[in-house]
Structure 1
Amino acid sequence: TAATNRHQQQPPTATNRQAQEAAKAALKDGAPMVEVEFPSTSLSAVSGDGEGQNEMNASMGFLRQFLTGFRSRAATTRVFFPDNVELAVAQRGQTEDPAAGRKPLEPQFADATFQLGYLTQQNAAWAMFGFYKSGFDPVQMIKDTDDLLVIAYPSFNPREELSAVYELHDKVARARGMPIIMFNGELDRVRGGYYASLFFPEIAKDRCACAHAPSPSHFPLHQFGRELFPTMITAYYIHNFKGTRPATLFRCYPGPWQLLRRDRQGNVADVLWSSEKMPSLKEVALEILPAVWR
């Protein structure tokens, strides 16, 4: 089947418009949580192709473009950045640091009319040793006038950031019927079991049943994957597979999931497979791709 379907993946200039419309359609259909996920550095890239900080910078730029589709509700939309440091970068930019592999970045949200917040509060001294915990509660940032939450790329420190997202959902959003958009959250790591339950009980897809698993009373957020995924609509999604069978798993809501073949130049050639149900990445790589690639 030729890739002429109206839901086919578009060039970079159209990606954000397509993602905006897909997210709006999911919100209109009553989704309590909406996922938007695509490569930040280029549409043919995979996660990890770029340095972490630069991928976050790229996601920030795409987020700014994505939010233009929601300008009419900027006064009641709160955008949560991963932490207070990233919010400062969004508002003031950053200088180049070759030693850290960091490129300069102009302020992306200095003139934002959207309401801004952050999921975690980073203490620079403790962060050097990998400790991010604090008494900060992001729920306190939500105002009575907020009616939409947008979570910006919560993947740098997932244990704290995704746990904070669950807190927002559990303590405020669910009771108020306030939807949440997850923007480039790399949630496939949770779906695929990348975060082991024993070490990441707050966000693991399934709770660890082993005798040494931490007590639920100490880790009340183990429900993240189990409770939120069933209610989530993945509105816009691009995941690339490289190697001898280059392909892209793609979805633009309310259209179906599609596996698109890529040619040697990285362009979409045709649709290999389609389904109304989201497959796992493991299923695509080991079962679907070998079966449909000719």
Structure 2
Amino acid sequence: MATSYCSISNPPLSKTSFPNKQVPGWVLRAISKGKGNYTGGIYTTTKRNLRTGFHVCAVNGGQGTRNVSGAEFPSDYTELLAQAKEAAESAFKDGKQLLEIEFPTAGLQSVPGDSEGGIEMTGSMLLIREFCDRFVPAEKATRTRIFFPEANEVSFARQSAFEGCSLKLDYLTKPSLFEDFGFTTKVKMSDRVRPEDEIFLVAYPYFNVNEMLVVEELYKEAIVSTDRKLIIFNGELDRIRMLVTFLNKREAALMMFENNYPPFFYPKLAELSKTFLPKLETVYYIHNFKGLKGGTLFRCYPGPWKVLRNIGGSFFCLHEQEEMPSLKEVALDILPSA
């Protein structure tokens, strides 16, 4: 493990440009310009699960490539998607089969909870479409299957971000009579997968615990002993990882209650953290920590894990290591001591 610290008396200042992005099937309501180069907007659509609008921070630009081994923190979502694309391609070339991509959608320096859940999922949907436009060659579009959390989400995607695309859209669960209590009907993955499928992308499977359990089933039934690939996109897997870091049952129960996971699912989630999650390669990751001693945990494959701090608009590395540190370690040990 290598650790480096920096001291800056007059750090450089930088501002990020966020141009507007037009999305087919959506109506852009312009908002007032801020200072400098910042612009923004609100995309609105018909109400669906409290999704009435969301803020968009630049998701456009060219499809240029870069050397991700020395990747720096992205200046906007265009650069982020370029980095994530290169990271995923590099991992697949290295023989990795199960990938994780995780980053905030309410702003590059936002934290979980800064935006309403439905808005975050809609933001992820748009970013996934932009990622696929860069990552999936046209000739492989019909061999790429995107699994959304549930059937209604597929209908929403087809009417908005994925309108007119040739990617296969599918779902992990179906609504049930007890959906309001967090229960859904699992879908048998062997019935959803087709022989020609090569790449599976699972979109934000975190709202209901059944979603990640079905993802594990997808892995066992359709990926093991094959050349197929799987990417979990914004699955908030840290919720599950945290299960094994809590010191006592009371803290674990509180965490699960806050994440709307029913108690009888605890053992299944804990088992996922031991059996399935270790098989994943986290190829792109951003997690922010707020506060006076705040910072960012950042990784872009094949580079190391870095703990960064934003000073005057620029990011500086406080610490780096090869293995992923726990969020608890970053928050309580690394950031306070830097």
TM-score (norm: length of structure 1): 0.81
Matches of 1:64 and 1:130, distance apart in 2: 27
> How do residues 24-43 of structure 1 correspond to structure 2 at under 5 angstroms?
24-43=89-108
Residue of structure 2 equivalent to 1:213:
none
**Structure 1: how far apart are the matches of 2:179 and 2:90?**
39
CA shift, 1:203, in A, is 4.2
Q: Distance in 2 between matches of 1:148 and 1:168?
A: 12
Is the CA contact (8 Å cut-off) linking 2:126 and 2:161 kept in structure 1?
Answer: yes
Corresponding residue number in structure 2 for 1:47: 112
State the distance in 1 between where 2:135 and 2:191 align.
Answer: 23
Distance (Å, rounded) in 2 between the aligned partners of 1:56 and 1:165: 18
Correspondence 1:207-246 to 2 at 5 A: 222=271, 224-246=272-294
Runs of 4+ in 1 over 4 A off after TM superposition: 194-198
Q: How many Å apart are 1:36 and its aligned residue?
A: 0.3
Q: What do residues 151-193 of structure 1 show as CA deviations (whole Å, max 9, x unaligned)?
A: 0000111x11001101100111113232210000000111111
Looking at structure 2, the residues matched to 174 and 238 of structure 1 have their Cα atoms a distance apart, in angstroms, of 28
How far off is 1:122 after superposition?
Answer: 1.2
1:70 Cα shift? 2.6
Structure 1 pair 246–151 and aligned structure 2 pair: CA distance change class (3 A):
same
- Shift in Å, 1:202: 5.9
User: Is the Cα contact below 8 Å between 2:294 and 2:335 reproduced in 1?
Assistant: no
Aligned CA distance change for structure 1 residues 197 and 19 (closer, same or farther; 3 Å): same
1:144 alignment partner, SS class: coil
Q: Distance in 1 between matches of 2:268 and 2:200?
A: 19
Instruction: Tell me the distance in 2 between the aligned counterparts of 1:129 and 1:186.
Output: 20
Contact 1:31 1:231 in 2 (8 A): no
Displacement of 1:84 in angstroms is 0.4
Aligned to 1:204: 269
Matched, 1:7 2:58: no
**Residues 1:191 and 2:255 aligned together:** no
Note if contact 1:77-1:148 (Cα within 8 Å) is conserved in structure 2. Answer: yes
Match of 1:168 among 194, 208, 218: 218
Q: In 1, distance between residues paired with 2:262 and 2:319? A: 32
Greater mean alpha carbon deviation, residues 61-70 or residues 51-60: 61-70
Give 1:198 deviation, angstroms. Answer: 5.5
Match of 1:133 among 153, 177, 185: 185
Distance 2:291 2:113 in 1: 15
Mark the CA change 1:66 to 1:203 in structure 2 (over 3 Å): closer, same or farther: farther
* Structure 1 position 115, deviation (Å): 1.3
Letter in 2 for 1:283: E
Residue 121 of structure 1 corresponds to which residue in structure 2? 174
Q: Give the equivalent residue in structure 2 for 1:22.
A: 87
Aligned residues of 2:73 and 2:315 also touching (Cα < 8 A): no
| 1:197 positional shift | 10
SS at match of 1:140: helix
Measure the CA separation in 2 of the matches of 1:59 and 1:245: 28
Q: Matched residues in 2 for 1:64 and 1:75: separation? A: 14
Q: Which amino acid aligns with 1:184?
A: N
Whole-angstrom CA distance in 2 between matches of 1:85 and 1:61: 16
- 2:194 aligned to which of 134, 143, 149: 143
Counterpart of 2:204? Answer: 153
Alignment-derived partner of residue 76 in structure 1: 143
Q: How far has the Cα of 1:256 moved from its partner?
A: 0.7
Matches of 2:309 and 2:264 in 1, distance apart? Answer: 37
Q: Does the CA-based 8 Å contact 2:308-2:319 persist in structure 1?
A: yes
In 2, the alpha carbon distance for the partners of 1:6 and 1:30 equals 21
Determine helix, strand or coil for the equivalent of 1:82. strand
Cα-Cα RMSD:
2.0
Contact 2:241 2:273 in 1 (8 A): yes
Post-superposition CA distance 1:39-88 (Å, at most 9, x none): 01110101111001001000001111111123312121110000001111
Letter in structure 2 aligned against 1:20? K
Residue 177 (structure 1) aligns with:
227
The equivalent of 1:60 in structure 2 is 125
Contact residue 101 and residue 283 of structure 2 kept, 8 A: yes
Secondary structure of the structure 2 residue equivalent to 1:199? helix
- State the AA in 1 paired with 2:301: Y
